[in-house]
Chains A and B, each alone.
Chain A
């Protein structure tokens, strides 16, 4: 996708939190950029309003939904993650929410999230890879909570529609004790 690209590498001391160097695209394809943004904005809205079925529809069949703990590029096959769902566990998560007896989401969190700083990154296959930042305001029975994350997506065009094959949400404070996180992040 990128004729020209550049590696953005942080200082070593931040690697644990910023992650490994990624190759960001310098070329700008306005149509693709717009399409990707619209997809992610829609995903954000479906999460905010707890439209579980519509959100689940966004995933591809081989999807991975990953929220690491204690760093950015941890090994989910070795280290504990907050969420490390394959497609069937995504489905289980949704089915639990839909019972209406998921107490930590009954009543559901009231949410508004802002997603920004979109950048396309180099992909080693046909998936479209994008990174962005998110801030989420949550209010629930406990009170108000602010969440912030760096998100990474692999999007795939399937029958003309974009689907999420991979979503990684790196909470900025994922090495600290955090409150219950039972809405869709």
Chain B
């Protein structure tokens, strides 16, 4: 049996070739839910979304909703919103502030760290051990620099092991804040997408498409994004392993040597932010940070940090996904934060200058797979020019399919495991 399972996945995922059914097959989707979404580390939310004691917000792990709570002791909890009694939701609000959750069906009441506090007419439960009837929790929770991840598996690699080399990109992001902290505080745009989640995942570090999919906006605005993804670009794609990939434009920004060029602006136009950065990091380091800018990294399977915004990819079914997107805010830096929001609102979400068209591509790709010949998608661009960087990570040209190949290599290893 094991032999058969192995050969099934190896047939579907070959070097530089993946089978179309990986994007539309319902059975494969069900296996992904078990083996990826309910086993590996999945990004859930950011601590700044629940700043106060008793704050809660509804997030998700794969298709499953999760309550992210800051409990009465200030600890972050990931609770499952299902009354252990009959399955009702103990909370139907998207977010709020509450010390306890009461199921509306039979009034079972839980603390915001999940313990069952009481139920109606307790005489009927004589001898029952209440401690076994609390809300279920996501078995493992880990936080890296404010980013909260959950894993539905009791055991497995630690979050730091899972993130591996990609931790550097989260550090790089936080360095761009004068306080070293970011905030997710502007609320999310939710973009319903009739396409498989992996088309979204693969596109995030696809540097081949921007010049074509986004030529409409590049041609009418003075966006400098286009030049990062040209044939002559010096930006690279990189794989950190474990399915994490990035587009790294720092070689281009270092060539320019202009602080805040990554953000299409100058230190003169953001004097307060620049002052704060120099104060926090010293002149030289602040300059380096502001030249390198913020990362463009896809943390497998669902957190995309796109310089100034994050996207959280949520799978709904084989043919449907939700993209949750919002502006990153640098804690304590109001003058840059407004620009971060304004640029994000222009670019992303259902009406965004960029994402409306990316999403159009995802949906057309999905429909395209109804045509069953050829059976495989072709991901060989730049195979001949992959190389290792000084840290041993695989890199390629910014327009190469290297990120997709590396995502699929990791995917194969997860799906083959029993």
A interface list, Cβ under 8 A from B: 67, 69-70, 74, 77-84, 89, 92-93, 95-96, 99-104, 141-142, 175-182, 185
Contacts and interface: CB of A to CB of B under 8 A. Distances in A.
B187 A180 contact: no
Given A84-B345, A180-B359, A141 B350 contact: no
Contact of B356 (A77, A79, A104, A185): A104
Given A67-B351, A93-B353, A178 B216 contact: no
Interface in B156-202: 185-194
A70 B338 CA distance: 19
B313 interface: no
A181 B191 CA distance: 9
A179 B192 contact: yes
B214 to A, nearest CB: 9
A82 B349 contact: yes
Contacts of B345: 80-84
Given A104-B356, A142-B194, A178-B350, 5 more contacts: A80-B344, A80-B349, A82-B351, A100-B216, A104-B359
Interface of B: 94, 185-194, 213, 215-217, 219-221, 322, 326-327, 338, 341-342, 344-346, 349-351, 353, 356-357, 359-361, 363-364, 367
B220 A99 contact: yes
B357 A141 contact: no
Contacts of A180: 191, 350-351, 356, 359-360, 363
A181 B194 CA distance: 14
Contacts of B216: 96, 99-103
Contact of B326 (A80, A92, A95): A80
Residue from B185, B188, B220 whose CB has the most chain A CB atoms within 10 Å:
B220
Contacts of A83: 345, 351
Nearest to B341: A80
B390 to A, nearest CB: 39
Contact of A177 (B191, B213, B364): B191
Given A80-B341, A104-B356, A177 B363 contact: no
B302 to A, nearest CB: 15
A77 B327 CA distance: 12
Contacts of B344: 80
Residue from B192, B215, B216 whose CB has the most chain A CB atoms within 10 Å:
B216
Pick the 5 closest A-B CB pairs, nearest first: A177-B192, A177-B190, A101-B216, A95-B220, A104-B360
B308 to A, nearest CB: 12
Nearest to A70: B187
B346 A89 contact: yes
A92 B367 CA distance: 30
Contacts of B192: 176-179
Contacts of B341: 78, 80
Contact of B213 (A93, A99, A103, A179): A103
29 contacts: A79-B187, A80-B188, A80-B327, A80-B344, A82-B189, A82-B351, A83-B351, A84-B345, A92-B221, A92-B353, A93-B353, A96-B217, A100-B216, A101-B216, A102-B216, A102-B356, A103-B361, A104-B359, A177-B192, A177-B322, A178-B191, A179-B191, A179-B193, A180-B359, A180-B360, A180-B363, A181-B351, A182-B350, A182-B357
Residue from A69, A81, A83, A99 whose CB has the most chain B CB atoms within 10 Å:
A69
